[in-house]
Structure 1
Amino acid sequence: MESITKNRQTPATLRAMVERAYGAEQVPTGEPDTWLEELGHGWFNVAYRILLRDGRAVVVKIAPPRGVPVMPAERGAMRIELDALALIAARTDVPVPQVDHADLSHELVDADYFFMPFVDAENFGIITDGLGTERRAAYNEALGAANRELNSIRGSWFGPLAGPGDPSWRVVFTGLVEDVLAAGEARSVDIGRDYDEIRKVVALHADVLDEVIEPRFVEWDLWDSNVMVRDGRIVTIIDHERALYGDPLMEAGFAGTYLSDFGDPTAFMRGYGQEQLTPREQTRRGLYCLHLVVIMAIETVYRGHTTPTQYDWARKQIDTMMRLLTEP
């Protein structure tokens, strides 16, 4: 996926980054195509697979360039991911990447970056269409169980992992919505609806947010494309940069309970241990879906997408969500 947020680096710079992380004796030699490969399926950060001199394969993930505007939830995203990885490793048994080296100094490149071991596994999102129904359901059920374990981590506030936060989920979530709408207005993004219409619909249903009283760790971006699988099991979960303390119903696995375009959530919910949602939980999920598809429309402008596929799809979903949240 192409995006102007991808902070690509030269082989010479990548060699310098390897030396800082692993030592001069591990810096690869030879032509770049013998040791360097860009991993292209990500949408935001750039990631490279690098073969060290001793034969180990590692991945370096690099945040966007300093001068590229990003969406509000993506500001400081790599530091959020590092915090999330440390928290998950300390508090759960959910498999996540090990951080070999993180550099936040901006001395070698104009952004944060970190190295981790390369995981020899398949991306669930890439292979899912080729799987049989039973295997796909088994992976989704395992994902539901893993997601529930992640959500078992309790926070002391709603909002960013590192704080500051707020004791009210309504305050935090409506603030997230306003941040996104303001970002869209700043770039004059046409989302097919007046921005104040979105604000009114969120305000109309905001009382359901008051039912969320315990902050929980929420991945928020745990789609199948962020799950690496092998031999019938989840090997690791990647891309944790949107994590926050919030309502577990924000998780991607629940999106299909309100909007069918996000897929059948049955196996995920079975693994999670929650068969269905109450009407008021459904309304909360509806607000989260609306928030999500508005993000998906606006971010195409910030990322400089060259094809309209995601934008056109998101515009249609905004219309659908507005109808569902306003009609009896």
Structure 2
Amino acid sequence: MAFRLDPDTAIKDPHGITWGMHPISWRNDDIPEVGAFNTLEDMLLDLADTGYAGTECAGFFPPKEEVKAAVEARGLKIAAQWFSSFILRDGVDAIVPDFEATCSYLEYLGATRVVVSEQTGSVQGQRDVCIFTNKPVLTEEEWPILAAGLNRLGEVAHAHGLELVYHHHLGTVVQTKDETIRLMELTDPSKVSLLFDTGHAFVGDGDVMGLLRATIDRVKHVHFKDVRPDKMEESRAAQRSFLDSFLAGMFTVPGDGTIDFTEPYSFLVDHGYSDWILVEAEQDPALANPLEYARKARAYIEGTLLAG
């Protein structure tokens, strides 16, 4: 096992893209018992061993000093962290202090992105609500309030050297292609960018490229997540929640599901994208060994995406 990322054996993207892997494959913040046996050190060792350059922060991480020391010891980087905003519920002024603290934390760790998702009315964490038929919908009056609030948070993020990348997400007020496009149109492009997630685009709209083509000029962070269509339809028929759908195997790593990543990857490259792409797959690590799936994703990345 490689105990530190070896530049000679790490994933090398000829277009300057940095490949990482999201911590959700090791441990899940929404259901703490899922992957509770995995530690930060377990994850970092797997990442270094499989040649990924870094990851995002998660709720199970220890204090920031320990995180920084552990990440640097393995030759890895922190790219970003999720922040749940409640602009519509609480008002942006109430959000700013916690957001400021998150940005300070990420600045200390050397991150370059802060991932924001508006969680007012969200059903993504409710296990008794079907993710396929229930989602909150913004009123006409709420759209400009959310946009103005995100612009404000974008200013805070920039003060800490970070890009605010908005995450379109199943079960939230900004899930669909049309909703995401509208949010991008209403927000200031100098303050708010987009995290493009293939898995959420596919499950939410049945289409990956439509959203990417429409928003490519705003994309500054990417998650490559695959979908198992049989498991998706099984969960839809069973009217499962988001959490129960991923526990049932709806998501997986690139190359193990139905999405052809050659098209979004080529489109990103053709438009000069050269930032992070993180492999992501909400799965139960007790059933889907993270190290095994990290290797499976790397084999697909190098054998299909980088071989073209």
- TM-score, normalised to structure 1's length? 0.28
Q: What is the TM-score with the length of structure 2 in the denominator?
A: 0.30
